[in-house]
Chain A
Amino acid sequence: MSATTKLLLGSVLCHKLGKVRLTRSMHTHPALLSSFRSSKEVQSLEQYLEVEPIENAAAWKFVERLLPPPTVPRPVAKADYPSGWQPQKSDGSDSSYFVARTKNHMVPVYLHTCFRGQRRITVVRRVQGDIWALEKDLRSVVEQARNGKLCASRVNELSGQIHIHGDYVDILREHLKAKGF
């Protein structure tokens, strides 16, 4: 008994659903899921404009301009750099440590803030070689900027990072640039 009612109900439902689907397909546009699905089917070729592919077109240089470079371009040597940026000059041979540039050719000095901006920590990354000697140098630079007051710092030897308490990003970046890093 129950099985037959279920069957009946099922058939009624199917019928209803079919109706719904029919009406919906009549009143809505096809789903724009992709340009392939929403594009028109190919008509007879007479309906289309005649086109020709042009190889080695003179205008291809304009297309090449619009294609992004696959890698970060290398900086070009110039007489002066008005923005204050400068390329790395030192290879670390004249000091016991080396600070590498980032992939974007920038000095890796960052500001980390936490506690809603209340704690500011200057982070120097990508240090190679004698990190403790660099920490000593940076500490003396920061302490000079603080009028002789001591500064707190932390060295992570494994990851080559120096954390200095306070916002000394500009001072340290200029110092490292002056040293050629």
Chain B
Amino acid sequence: MAHLRETSDKALKLLRTLPRVQIGNLRPNPNSKQNDKRGRAQHGGDKHGAGNKGSGQRQNFMRLGYETGNQPFYLRFPYEPYYKGHHMKRQYPPISLLQLQVLIDTNRIDISQPVDISTLCNSGLLKLKPAEMEYGFQLTDEGLDNFKAKINIEVQHANEAVIAAIERNGGVIRTAYYDPRSLHMLANAKKWFEKGVPIPYRMMPPQDAMDYYTDAKNRGYLANPEEISKDRLVLAQKYGYQLPRIEDDSAYEMLSATKDPRQVFYGLEPGWLINVVDKTIMRRKK
């Protein structure tokens, strides 16, 4: 070891007398560069990894999937309808309750107001791409036990455990459908206002989504409100928690805020035109 230390001392001593290490007097590490020359004959020229005989040596790269005369695997089965219509299916990108709680804890969303797609997109951490068949967010149950916020949230899909977790804390959850045009408006509302176009009506859900959004169990926005309040109680009994009375809550006004089924933004009616520059709202003269 002693000689090693001596060598390193010597090297350091040498280094002190040498010019400063900089990009001009550095060379690549040994063997880090590959020689791009292909030697011929006695200068390393043999098969060069291409092997002996056949398509390997000739390097006539066969087309992808070709099995040298067999019926190729990719042509063997004429019809596979497993993924039929997959490009038409509605996608609901997930957000977990844990993510939502982190957004609340780091002050990225304001829970003193109702939370919807635009609130989530405005946090700057979640993105919705309606052009890629994303029809809104689904709330998933990860971090369900640690969720402690009292919120009024509107998502596009939620399961029973998530609904129970929200309602246990005295919150309100609602699942609602938005057509792609409305989603486009909600995903970046400011940009849409700058277009200077009157706010359109929101469309009703398609036939195959109607069952989901009229079901009180899913807290659908088209369900009967009386059935929903009954189902809130049923769910509280099923999961074993005392249902907080939102009627007695000080934030009752926020918790009971809803949109009309044909309305895109909270408080803004279809037909209005928002001028963000002059801070005015254009509406029809009464």
Q: Which residues of A contact B (CB under 8 A)?
A: 35, 49-57, 59-63, 65-69, 72-76, 78, 81-85, 104-105
Contacts and interface: CB of A to CB of B under 8 A. Distances in A.
B20 interface: no
Contact of A54 (B101, B147, B283): B283
Nearest to A67: B190
Contacts of B148: 82
B233 interface: no
B280 interface: yes
Contacts of A66: 118, 122, 189-190, 193, 265
B98 interface: yes
B143 A62 contact: no
Nearest to B99: A83
Given A66-B189, A78-B105, A53 B268 contact: no
| 10 closest cross-chain pairs (CB), A and B | A62-B267, A83-B101, A66-B189, A68-B122, A82-B148, A50-B285, A53-B280, A81-B105, A83-B102, A57-B281
Interface string B252-286: 00000000000001111000111110111111110
Interface residues of B, number: 42
A83 B149 CA distance: 10
Contacts, number: 95
A145 to B, nearest CB: 23
Contacts of B193: 63, 66
A102 B119 CA distance: 22
30 contacts: A49-B284, A51-B283, A51-B284, A52-B282, A52-B283, A52-B285, A53-B275, A54-B280, A56-B279, A57-B281, A59-B267, A59-B281, A60-B281, A62-B268, A66-B118, A66-B190, A67-B189, A67-B276, A68-B121, A73-B108, A74-B107, A75-B106, A78-B105, A82-B101, A83-B101, A83-B143, A85-B105, A85-B106, A104-B125, A105-B106
Interface of B: 98, 101-102, 104-108, 113, 118-119, 121-122, 124-125, 143, 146-149, 189-190, 193, 195, 197, 265-268, 272-276, 278-285
